[in-house]
Chains A and B, each alone.
Chain A
Amino acid sequence: MTVHTVGSRRVVRAACAAAQEAGLHVGMALAQAQALVPNLHVVEANPDEDEASLRELARWAIGYSPVVASDPPDGLWIDIAGVAHLFGSEEELLSDLTSRLTRQGIAAKAAVADAPGAAWAMARYGAGGVVPTGRIVDAVATLSIRALRIAPDKLGALHRLGIERIGQLAAMPRAPLVRRFGRDVALRLDQAMGHAFEPITPLIPKETPVASCAFAEPVARLEDLKGVLLRLAKDLCRQLGRRGEGVRRLDLIFQRVDQKSACLRVGTAKANRDAAHLARLFDERLQTIDPGFGIEEMVLVASKVEPLTEMQIHARGLGEEDTGEADMGPLVDRLGARIGMRRIYRLAPVQSLVPERMARRIPALAPPTGSVWPENLPRPTRLLDPPEPVVATALLPDHPPAFFVWRKVRHKVAKADGPERITPEWWNGDKSSFARDYYRVETEQGGRFWIFRDAPTAEGGRWWMHGFFS
């Protein structure tokens, strides 16, 4: 429990869970608390240190989103717009965040909502968790009016009127409410309901390389933004060059005239400090930014840097001696900025003969594996996943089919090769007991198909179409 001095009184400022169970609460006089719990452990509150450690925590939370702000005395804002998909979903992000905090010994409660005010209320007075889009009015209505962040004297006045819940306050006529309690009560109510906008001023760690540009006049044209972006990138790269670092993640934050902010985040596959290249990564998504009435300030933050000592040498495409070993980093970055880094990959061989399991994805810039699949295996170029059933007739059991019907077309088999038996891999947890007998068949027209039977004919094996050679 910590105490601080208010006037001449010593008042409880914060109490741990055990103390709260013993009946202590924030705002209680120290003498009363000590009377309730005789061997109370009391620590003098140190608001400056609290704030500093909160800022430290906020800096840690930048791993989740570029727009993070500390909300003294005990809160953090994280603007997760546009980053939730990196964690799968908002729920997963939230559980990841809380479990990490718990592991650090910090008791935390988190909530996601459309408006910062609603998330504040839900995290402190509600159940926490994710409030679905468009449902904040319902979610907030049942909460106590203390969740509104209004001054204590006004809270008392509202209590006297018998208003306990946010829903009751929202149902009151607006004009008398403002006249009686002032504008800020109405504003807080709107912020919690998501009707009024509330800016979050992002915290930028001191040691992070930052380039910013504030405009004398608001800027809205895309070309101007691109020009400024390039200038910022050059500035940033100069800073990075002095420190011998390259960018792995870059955030671009726009401050609009109406105090709203928007941000874009791009990543690079390798540390990079080529200004023109970094500026180009934003090209595609810059047009998704709505400038509104104009943008006042642009801030470019290198939120993740890595040491980069080698300098780039532009010697590509100069002449014949140019070997094929070109640097694919910039290309992968540009593609990744368009469709996401996860969708740029290479396929590496896996020691398996089950077709669905023969390849695994590796990062596009991973070092060459050098391994290949066994070369003597005839494998189709296209795989049908999942396999489609075909009606096939074989002349003898365990012979290739003489003809088959696939997608309502009857194909007569002219030549065939097989069977090639592929057995399930019990060491990979395959429970099924059947083995697949694969046949390569060529129809009279020359089309080649990869067909398998999922069990011997005697055991009622069915036929499936699995791939196409031609």
Chain B
Amino acid sequence: MHAGQQDRLAALRLQIARMEGGSQKTRPLPFGLKPLDAHLPGGGLARGVLHEMIEAGHASEFAGCTTLFTAGIAARLKGPVLWCLTRRDLFAPGLLRAGLHPDRVIYAEAEREREILPLIEEGLREKGLAAVIGEVTRMGLTASRRLQLAAEATGVTALVIRRWWTLAEKDLVHLPTAAATRWRIAPAPSELMPAPGLGRERWQVELLRCRGAEPRTWILEACDAKGRLALPADLADRSDQAADRRAAAS
């Protein structure tokens, strides 16, 4: 690509960004990790769109990692968060590990599964919220499109955690949705400590689907008390990091 072409592309991008009203609120939320931010379009997780999180692993129906991953994203946004849930298995003290202060979270507990999507949509209509987190079992193309449109209109980020309790429900998460990104989080073995004990948790974070980016997998360390992820120090020579290293060296 010629230098002149690149300049023109950059100018066009700037123009589009200006047209979209590129304020602080619409700028993507960076993870603060170079490989992730460089891979995601715009340099981070887009705000005002729908993101979908799926858990994999042995106790995946409880979505332990995904909950912390989502809470970490919400913690780094500014403002109150609406958490829509149907089951009472969420343990609020655990969210503090990702830095999500209890004063910031308003819970809305639906009695039935079908009430939850309208609740999320209602939340997305409220401009003052930072994010709406929903625990959803069934979300089809139409429903997710509605959420996406509602999120776009107000700039509130929608984070949907997919939950299931039966195998039939688990298969539902593979159906297509209108979400801008789809993540799959699975636990990964953590670093071996010199003494008995547990180090920082590690996750295998997969970007399954993303508008404007290729699917990709990273091994990351779990959220710290400020909601930030980290790159494991001893995994620099893993194959999935090799491209970055080469790029950094050249």
Contacts and interface: CB of A to CB of B under 8 A. Distances in A.
Contacts of A358: 91-93
Interface in B85-113: 88-97, 101-103, 105-111
Contact of B65 (A326, A379, A383, A470): A470
Nearest to B101: A372
A339 B110 contact: yes
B115 interface: yes
Contacts of A319: 23
Nearest to A368: B103
B82 interface: yes
A444 interface: yes
Interface string B75-89: 000111010000011
B225 interface: yes
Interface residues of B, number: 65
Nearest to A376: B225
B188 interface: yes
B108 A335 contact: yes
Interface stretch (A6-14, A54-62, A257-265, A347-355): A347-355
A372 B108 contact: no
Given A343-B110, A446-B57, A470 B118 contact: no
Interface string A444-469: 11111100000000000000000111
A375 interface: yes
A84 B175 CA distance: 42
A346 B106 CA distance: 5
A332 B23 contact: no
B59 interface: yes
Given A320-B25, A331-B126, A442-B198, 20 more contacts: A316-B127, A326-B128, A331-B122, A335-B82, A338-B122, A344-B106, A344-B109, A347-B92, A358-B92, A358-B93, A364-B107, A382-B64, A382-B67, A417-B196, A442-B190, A446-B202, A447-B59, A448-B64, A468-B64, A470-B187
A344 B63 contact: no
Interface of A: 284, 316-317, 319-320, 324, 326-328, 330-332, 334-335, 338-339, 343-349, 355, 358-359, 364, 368-370, 372-373, 375, 377-385, 409, 411, 414-417, 440, 442-449, 467-470
A385 B108 contact: no
A326 B79 contact: yes
Contact of A324 (B80, B90, B122, B201): B80
B58 interface: yes
B63 A382 contact: yes
Interface string B211-250: 0000000000010010000000000000000000000000
Nearest to A337: B122
B123 interface: yes
Nearest to A363: B106
B90 A381 contact: yes
B57 A447 contact: yes
A150 B250 CA distance: 101
B203 interface: yes
B4 interface: no
Given A343-B110, A470-B65, A448 B92 contact: no
Interface string B45-73: 00000000000011100111101100100
Contact of B91 (A331, A345, A381): A381
A339 B111 contact: yes
Contact of B80 (A326, A330, A443): A326
A246 B116 CA distance: 30
Contacts of A373: 93, 96, 102
B133 interface: no
Nearest to B78: A324
A328 B80 contact: yes
A429 B126 CA distance: 43
B193 interface: yes
Contact of A379 (B96, B119, B155, B203): B96
A343 B109 contact: yes
Contacts of B93: 349, 355, 358-359, 373, 377, 379
Contacts of A370: 103
Contact of A416 (B109, B189, B198): B198
A348 B102 CA distance: 6
A394 to B, nearest CB: 13
B128 A327 contact: yes
B40 interface: no
B130 interface: yes
Given A369-B102, A382-B94, A468-B62, A448 B198 contact: yes
B106 A326 contact: no
A207 B43 CA distance: 60
